[in-house]
A and B are shown apart, each in its own frame.
Chain A
Amino acid sequence: MLVSMNWLQQYVDLDSYSADELADLITKGGIEVETVEQLNKGISGVVIGHVLECQQHPDADKLNICKVEIGEEEPVQIICGAPNIAQGQYVAVAKVGAVLPGNFKIKKAKLRGEASHGMICSLQELGIESKLVSKEYADGIFVFSEDVTPGEDALEYLNLHDEVLELGLTPNRADAMNMIGVAYEVGAVLNRSIELPSPELVRSDEGVEGYVSVRVENEEDNPYYGATVIKDVTIKPSPQWLVNRLVSAGIRPINNVVDITNYVLLEYGQPLHAFDYDRFGSKEVVIRRAIEGEKMVTLDDVERTLSSEHLVITNGSKPVAVAGVMGGADSEVQEDTTTILLEAAYFNSKLVRKASKDLGLRSDSSARFEKGIDRNRVVGASERAAQLIQEIAGGTVLKGIAEQGDRTIEALDVSIEVNRINQVLGTEITETEVAAIFERLQFSYQNFGGTFTVQVPPRRPDITISEDLIEEVGRLYGYDNVPATLPVTESTPGQLSEYQVKRRHVRRTLEGAGLYQTVTYSLTSPSKRHFFSSDSVESVRLAMPMSEERSELRTSLIPHLLEVAQYNRNRQLENIAFYETASVFLPGDELPVEQEHLAGVVSGLWQEHLWQKEKKAADFFVVKGILEELAVEFGVEERLTFARAEEPKLHPGRTAAVYLDDELIGYIGQLHPEVEKELDLSETYVFEINLEKLLQADVAHLKYKKLPRFPSVTRDVALVVSESLEAGEVKRVIKEAGGSKLVEIQLFDVYQGEHLEEGQKSLAFSLRYYNPEQTLTEEEVKKAHDRVLKAVEEQFGAALRQ
């Protein structure tokens, strides 16, 4: 809502408040003033000029040489290229030395050899947006239609010294979508009285009955409809004051009758529609639901197909307007219109909203109906419009209104106790202060011992319960005056849940291990939704995606991490180590199943220390080490295992499935070289696990283990085995065979090459034996160690490396 200071001044005395001060007060009162615009945009030196002579430039077809009187001793010569320039016109002249918007300075000039002392301006050159310039001046200079005096300030006549406040209205404050509503609000904020228009309408003796009747089929759809008929009007451009008002509010002037309906819309918040009576097609206005598939052409010359959920105004046989949204082209007011059928109605907001949405038609009218208009202002608005039409377009207003429904409704009673107000706000506002606030709001009330019963006027449909009154009192009392206190309710311990503690620990562990956290989007494209063959085949898809790229919910975190890898690689950031914890979404019953996953991507150099010539490239074991560390942190290092696996998008020889106990919880591996090539990535390792499984694993609480009291014994063995045998398998067998005294098995060397036969490798383990009860005897160690050697020999044919 755009509010002109000059216009508002008509209703409330704004004296002593600057636009900025007022904006601040209104904002503090609850309606945010988003901007304060100076309409003159820094213009100076523009006066009214009288074109005394106008002749064609001898050397330029499109230029005219004008002698213009601008209130100085001598008329000045100005060269003007506007197509509509003519002798006798009163125009806006930017004198030499004038400044136009954009700090454009007017200087003396020569145009094709002829001197020009200034410029005759179009409205656009004076900073008025093209969309607000009426058609007749759209492509040329502006011409004053009235008596004006050369030399006087042209901006004054165009109301360009005005300032406009732009209100950002929340949906509950539709009452401020009109000047009267803004006046009530500003009056309350400033604690000043307001003066509202009281139209004095002279009606003819001729009654409306002979011209039109109104029939509303369903009063729930349309609680009130009134039609006024005005004869003998003359359609022409509006007077300047009216044009100025509309322009300040951001509405383009069209002709006097249409402008007046728009003016009253802005002033009263009541959408009106003027039909050409002679083109209406009948003497009967019938308001009904549209027939399914019924068609009509609206004012914008578009054919609309209607449904039974739309309310239409008809002439008894066919629709002439979509109720509250837009009129029809057939009955539009035109230059030759002489009789007006003026509609003022109260339509059901839901039906207007539905039609506006279905037809994709948002108008100033529908916006107001949707949010709720003042039921008690409908007739007043139609009288105001009739009066203005009579005044400006001439004509006779017929007696009476053809109508159906109640013109007014009762005010709503809402009660509130002063104690309650203070209890909710934490204030100590007195009864007197509360009463004063209701008076500022112009709400009638009764007060019985601190209980106020307020008659809420229908202009404020947002107030329906006592809490709404608390807000009214609070906002006008001023939230600055509400103290800052600490809650007195019973105290509660604030703590993270076990899961939340663990999740934070996951982050710290991974970051301590060298990974950086990322946050990526949940929505993705069908091709990036999943990564592993085990990911859900079915997707959770948006009903109406904005783009295919963001149309489905992901079931794997890896694709977006790979996007991050690509993004960084494209910026020469090749050494990357990222992780993310986020939900993936699997189809479910009522809601999708959300599962928190942990994933990571590592590529390039893992560690480097240049001058000491250390460089360690990221590899499978870097990533595996991080997961193993995580397992240690969560006490499942014995239960988290890795087994060779195959995944289409991963390197077949460098992929492992991750198990927690016997349950598959994720994968780790190098991207398949073909995938790397496709994404233009170098060697890249990824992992993804179901984090919930890891964090919800049952683990014993941390407990102290006694420090060893006896020495342990370490034996190293190098076993020669087939190169295809996995070290993990050997370790498993050693552990089994070693018995309880074998407390630690460390692989310390893997060797292939010289001194070994083709197809063989040597695995060197360091085995530590320990007995917590007493010092180990040589025999005990030998017994256990022999078992180990026997077992590996039997199972793998492993020989001791010599």
Chain B
Amino acid sequence: MQERLQALKEEALSEIQQASSMKEVQDIKVKFLGKKGPITEISKGMGKLSKEERPKMGQLVNEIRTAISDQLEEKIARLEKAAVEERLKEETIDVSLPGRPVKRGNHHPLTRVIEEIEDLFLGMGFSIAEGPEVETDYYNFEALNLPKDHPARDMQDSFYITEETLLRTHTSPMQARTMEKLNGEGPVKIIVPGKVYRRDTDDATHSHQFMQIEGLMVGENVRMSDLKGVLQSFAKKMFGEEREIRLRPSFFPFTEPSVEMDISCFNCGGNGCSVCKGTGWIEILGGGMVHPNVLRMSGFDPEKVTGFAFGMGPERIAMLKYGIDDIRHFYTNDSRFIKQFNSL
């Protein structure tokens, strides 16, 4: 009987070892340890043994049963592990394949520049005023100290619709429109972004339609040094902390004194290069102290308040900032052009 058990054990262990699937393992389990299996048979026949032999044989049966089922468990664990490994192997992907593109558009570069400038001035307490693109002669010229026969009107040949209305040549008309509403009560702090129009033939550097951002600050004690300070913050934010600015005297009918602002060249740092035409400086915008006639016409008392105003061209700023060589790119909207302005 003992030999029989030993033989069974060896047979079982050998079969377990050879088994290669879960099913085989289950079959072995049933075959040896099942209710109708040989070991159960032997257990059943133990009643015929003597009292002395019975516990010894019982122990042996148990030992063999345990040995087989341990082996079975171990085999099952091993097979399961192999199965998992097999699955993982099958599921392996080429991580170098391209990801699924995310469908997203982006701002036009002009909007990008304008919003950046808007945010900068919002942070300095300015709000954003917007006005009509078709203006009256009064707001576009007269209220800005440009009476009908003023020679400076030649500076910006305009598109008239009637004798009294035209496409605005700058966003400055909002100076008067904003101030008029305030009945002489300041402070006024606005910037005015928007489209403007001039009689120019479109080429690489001219466009009959372009953007402008006008700025206006009026209040008690507004000084030209404040203009310089505000523009310095602007220049450093837009073109880098190392930028210096300089103001040069200039002329605009609506400011007195008038200035033009240059920034130190961001390309060469001021040593002279092709971007700054060898001067080390790049002209960015015009401005000045609001002309007393402009204040007076819009209901403010130039004896009590002063103000500064400035105007800049987002196209020019974008062209300088991004190195764009042709102003027409902004208006032809080549998708390869627009798509370049998609990152921070």
Query: B40 near A: Cβ within 8 Å?
Result: no
Contact across chains for A590 and B333 when beta carbons are under 8 A apart: no
Contact across chains for A522 and B195 when beta carbons are under 8 A apart: yes
Stretch at the interface among B44-52, B54-62, B84-92, B157-165: B157-165
Stretch at the interface among A71-79, A94-102, A283-291, A607-615: A607-615
Q: Chain B 134-171 against A: per-residue CB contact (8 Å), 1 yes, 0 no?
A: 11100000000000010110110001111101010000
Interface class of chain A by DSSP = mixed
Query: A170 near B: Cβ within 8 Å?
Result: yes
Stretch at the interface among B15-23, B28-36, B106-114: B106-114
Contact across chains for B111 and A507 when beta carbons are under 8 A apart: yes
Residues of A within 8 A of B155 (CB): 171
- Bound CA–CA A496/B115 (angstroms): 11
- Bound CA–CA A488/B199 (angstroms): 40
Contact across chains for A594 and B134 when beta carbons are under 8 A apart: yes
Residues of A within 8 A of B333 (CB): 518-520, 564, 567-568, 578
Query: B300 near A: Cβ within 8 Å?
Result: no
B187 vs chain A, min Cβ distance (A): 5
Residues of A within 8 A of B186 (CB): 489
- Bound CA–CA A497/B122 (angstroms): 11
Query: A173 near B: Cβ within 8 Å?
Result: yes
Interface class of chain B by DSSP = mixed
Contact across chains for A492 and B338 when beta carbons are under 8 A apart: no
Stretch at the interface among A153-161, A319-327, A463-471: A463-471
Contact across chains for A540 and B226 when beta carbons are under 8 A apart: no
- Bound CA–CA A423/B221 (angstroms): 7
A486 vs chain B, min Cβ distance (A): 5
Residues of B within 8 A of A485 (CB): 223, 225-226, 228-229
Query: A700 near B: Cβ within 8 Å?
Result: no
Query: B250 near A: Cβ within 8 Å?
Result: yes
Known: A479-B247, A479-B249, A521-B331. A171 touches B197 (CB 8 A): no
Stretch at the interface among A333-341, A424-432, A661-669: A424-432
Determine the interface band of chain B, counting residues with CB < 8 A from chain A. Answer: 35 or more
Contact across chains for A519 and B110 when beta carbons are under 8 A apart: yes
Contact across chains for A489 and B248 when beta carbons are under 8 A apart: no
Residues of B within 8 A of A590 (CB): 136, 165
Query: B323 near A: Cβ within 8 Å?
Result: no
Contact across chains for A486 and B249 when beta carbons are under 8 A apart: no
- Bound CA–CA A563/B220 (angstroms): 50
Residues of A within 8 A of B224 (CB): 424-426, 474, 479, 482
A309 vs chain B, min Cβ distance (A): 12
Residues of A within 8 A of B197 (CB): 522-523
B258 vs chain A, min Cβ distance (A): 7
B118 vs chain A, min Cβ distance (A): 8
Complex partner residue of B126 from A27, A494, A512, A521, CB under 8 angstroms: A494
A656 vs chain B, min Cβ distance (A): 23
Contact across chains for B226 and A511 when beta carbons are under 8 A apart: no
Query: A370 near B: Cβ within 8 Å?
Result: yes
Chain A: which residue is nearest B199 at the CB level? A546
- Bound CA–CA A496/B165 (angstroms): 29
Query: B319 near A: Cβ within 8 Å?
Result: no
Q: Chain B 61-98 against A: per-residue CB contact (8 Å), 1 yes, 0 no?
A: 00000000000000000000000000000000000011
Contact across chains for A513 and B105 when beta carbons are under 8 A apart: yes
A561 vs chain B, min Cβ distance (A): 9
Query: B121 near A: Cβ within 8 Å?
Result: yes
A243 vs chain B, min Cβ distance (A): 32
Contact across chains for B223 and A423 when beta carbons are under 8 A apart: yes
Chain A: which residue is nearest B159 at the CB level? A542
- Bound CA–CA A319/B155 (angstroms): 32
Contact across chains for A489 and B335 when beta carbons are under 8 A apart: no
Q: Which of A486-511 contact B (CB under 8 A)?
A: 486-497, 500, 504, 507, 510-511
- Bound CA–CA A574/B11 (angstroms): 74
- Bound CA–CA A18/B161 (angstroms): 50
Residues of A within 8 A of B161 (CB): 540-543, 592
Contact across chains for B151 and A173 when beta carbons are under 8 A apart: no
Contact across chains for B331 and A475 when beta carbons are under 8 A apart: no
- Bound CA–CA A578/B289 (angstroms): 41
Number of interface residues of A (CB under 8 A): 92
- Bound CA–CA A493/B223 (angstroms): 20
B229 vs chain A, min Cβ distance (A): 4
Query: B181 near A: Cβ within 8 Å?
Result: no
Q: Chain B 251-272 against A: per-residue CB contact (8 Å), 1 yes, 0 no?
A: 1000011110000000000000
Contact across chains for A480 and B246 when beta carbons are under 8 A apart: yes
Query: A139 near B: Cβ within 8 Å?
Result: no
Query: A735 near B: Cβ within 8 Å?
Result: no
Name, among B103, B128, B155, B330, the residue most crowded by chain A CB atoms within 10 Å (CB to CB).
Answer: B103
Known: A467-B289, A542-B161. A484 touches B106 (CB 8 A): no
Query: B9 near A: Cβ within 8 Å?
Result: no
B224 vs chain A, min Cβ distance (A): 5
Complex partner residue of A487 from B97, B217, B258, CB under 8 angstroms: B217
Query: A172 near B: Cβ within 8 Å?
Result: yes
Residues of A within 8 A of B101 (CB): 607-609
Residues of B within 8 A of A520 (CB): 331, 333
Residues of B within 8 A of A567 (CB): 332-334
A306 vs chain B, min Cβ distance (A): 20
Q: Chain B 227-250 against A: per-residue CB contact (8 Å), 1 yes, 0 no?
A: 011101000000000000111111
- Bound CA–CA A492/B135 (angstroms): 28
Query: A624 near B: Cβ within 8 Å?
Result: no
Query: A350 near B: Cβ within 8 Å?
Result: yes
Residues of B within 8 A of A480 (CB): 246-247
A550 vs chain B, min Cβ distance (A): 6
- Bound CA–CA A796/B154 (angstroms): 71
Contact across chains for A426 and B126 when beta carbons are under 8 A apart: no
Stretch at the interface among A28-36, A214-222, A383-391: A28-36
Contact across chains for A497 and B128 when beta carbons are under 8 A apart: yes
Residues of B within 8 A of A487 (CB): 217, 219, 222-223, 226, 229-230
Chain B: which residue is nearest A544 at the CB level? B160
Known: A512-B104, A520-B333. A553 touches B134 (CB 8 A): yes
Query: A684 near B: Cβ within 8 Å?
Result: no
Residues of A within 8 A of B291 (CB): 467
- Bound CA–CA A493/B128 (angstroms): 11
Contact across chains for A517 and B338 when beta carbons are under 8 A apart: yes
Chain A: which residue is nearest B283 at the CB level? A32
A489 vs chain B, min Cβ distance (A): 4
B320 vs chain A, min Cβ distance (A): 18
Contact across chains for B105 and A510 when beta carbons are under 8 A apart: yes
Residues of B within 8 A of A582 (CB): 195
Contact across chains for B104 and A482 when beta carbons are under 8 A apart: no
B339 vs chain A, min Cβ distance (A): 7
Query: A585 near B: Cβ within 8 Å?
Result: yes
Contact across chains for B128 and A523 when beta carbons are under 8 A apart: no
Chain A: which residue is nearest B131 at the CB level? A594
Residues of B within 8 A of A671 (CB): none
Chain B: which residue is nearest A488 at the CB level? B221
Query: B132 near A: Cβ within 8 Å?
Result: yes
Chain A: which residue is nearest B336 at the CB level? A573
- Bound CA–CA A590/B195 (angstroms): 20
A619 vs chain B, min Cβ distance (A): 14
What are the nearest 6 A-B pairs in CB distance?
Answer: A426-B225, A30-B249, A426-B223, A170-B251, A471-B257, A489-B219
CB<8 Å pairs between A and B, sample of 10: A30-B250, A170-B250, A371-B151, A485-B225, A489-B186, A510-B105, A511-B106, A515-B105, A521-B331, A591-B165
- Additional 14 contacts, C-beta under 8 A, given A492-B125, A513-B105, A564-B332: A424-B224, A474-B249, A482-B228, A490-B219, A496-B128, A497-B127, A507-B111, A516-B105, A516-B106, A517-B107, A522-B209, A523-B167, A567-B333, A591-B136
